[in-house]
Structure 1
């Protein structure tokens, strides 16, 4: 098994959902299902959050999955196969954006990401962008994350700095036409990330029309094959004061 397959086997053994794992570690939604290896920085977080998980089993395929109750799980330093992993005395706690936005339902907490628009959404969706904070919004459907709006293409409906909460779309055949999407796409040899309405192009089922709310931005027609990452916008959050 790969490292991520073994980690999923551990979560199944412990009865821990993927959403709970993402909440505890702060990793982005989809991290467990992308790639094969974990990376030393991620392993450090994992073993400090799950002290009964055997690092020797996870990385070296040695020994049992779970450490015995008497095994030391704090203040121990491991150095194996390029992984130098100190166990912390106390696990780090994820930062909550605001007590007014947080609830006791950890599985509904939404990671907020800082990302560079120039690099697109792909690193974020692949689990390579750490969460900077968390949101918890009552009665919100399950979402994968949130990012801060940039630009004025959706003004005044959305302003720069507003947070858009999204659910990743993995197949362009599942587009709900007319809805608002967070999208990364290639256009004229450049990569763009923006929020737009996606409309059908009459007579061209393999193309999409990207429409802004701001009338000063002209629609853009692109082939569906140009889309690099896509997420439907489920909600938005706006702060009207600085504090």
Structure 2
């Protein structure tokens, strides 16, 4: 899509009329209908008016159309110098994937699966770094993201509404955990960010391990 087509898609999605777009962005009346292409300067001017539209998507075809505030808050940038394939200092990187969907595999953090480490002040050295796959957690977590996780040792440290990696005998999956509306004592509700996926009722007794997703790394395919 061209930049103009993308902006048109955005205003259609938000229910914004062309007249309103021109007025709010300081464009001349009739500008939108007359112009065939939008310059980067005009695109940036419009994006400053509509702050939830992603400029990465608009100008570089990267990411989603709508910014995700939680993703921006959780995402941290790591320099290449902080990543090592040989040293074991800081948070360890594992050749393990967790599915933003369903996956019938257990998860084991063994030495054989360590493929590197990241030594950076932004990351808790006791945390672990794994690979996320699937699209059920879009736009918060994309397939290919490296996520920083930390094990929750007790339900006393558990908070509803957060995103967790949940390990059972059948699945390892990343979901937002909600309080179950009917049986909060025995069940939890696993919810995807992607509305195409249904909620999952999961008995608490089936959970073997629980990890909170602390951060998302901005570096893709780091090793």
Relative to the length of structure 1, the TM-score reads 0.49
| Aligned position for 2:135 | 152
Q: Give the equivalent residue in structure 1 for 2:167.
A: 184
CA contact (8 A) 1:210 1:221 kept: yes
CA gap of 1:141–1:109, structure 2 versus 1, over 3 A, is: closer
Cα offset, 1:222, TM superposition: 0.8
Where does structure 1 lack aligned partners over 5 or more consecutive residues?
1-96
Residue 218 (structure 1) aligned with residue 188 (structure 2): no
Q: Does 1:138 align with 2:121?
A: yes
Structure 1 residue 194 displacement after superposition: 1.1
Query: Matches of residues 69-148 of structure 1 in structure 2 within 5 Å?
Result: 99-102=80-83, 109-115=90-96, 118-121=104-107, 123-124=108-109, 127=110, 129-148=112-131
**1:209 matched residue in structure 2:** 189
Secondary structure of the residue aligned to 1:100 is helix
RMSD: 3.0
Larger RCO of the pair (alpha carbons < 8 Å, separation 6+):
2
Distance 2:92 2:222 in 1: 21
| 1:175 corresponding residue in structure 2 | 158
Alpha-carbon distance, 1:118 to partner: 3.9
Aligned to 1:27: none
2:30 aligned residue:
none
1:81-112 per-residue CA deviation (whole Å, 9 max, x = no partner) reads xxxxxxxxxxxxxxxx9743349xx9971111
Aligned to 2:172: 193
- Flag structure 2 segments of 5+ consecutive residues without an equivalent: 1-77, 98-102
Aligned to 1:235: 215
**Do the aligned partners of residues 206 and 153 (structure 1) sit closer, same or farther apart at CA in structure 2, a change above 3 Å counting?**
same
Secondary structure, counterpart of 2:96 in structure 1: coil
Kept in 1: contact 2:119–2:125 (CA 8 A): no
Cα distance between partner residues in 2 of 1:240 and 1:112: 13
- Inter-partner Cα distance in structure 1 for 2:125 and 2:106: 23
Runs of 4+ that moved beyond 2 A: 97-103, 115-119, 127-130, 136-144, 170-174, 238-243
CA distance in 2, matches of 1:193, 1:240: 22
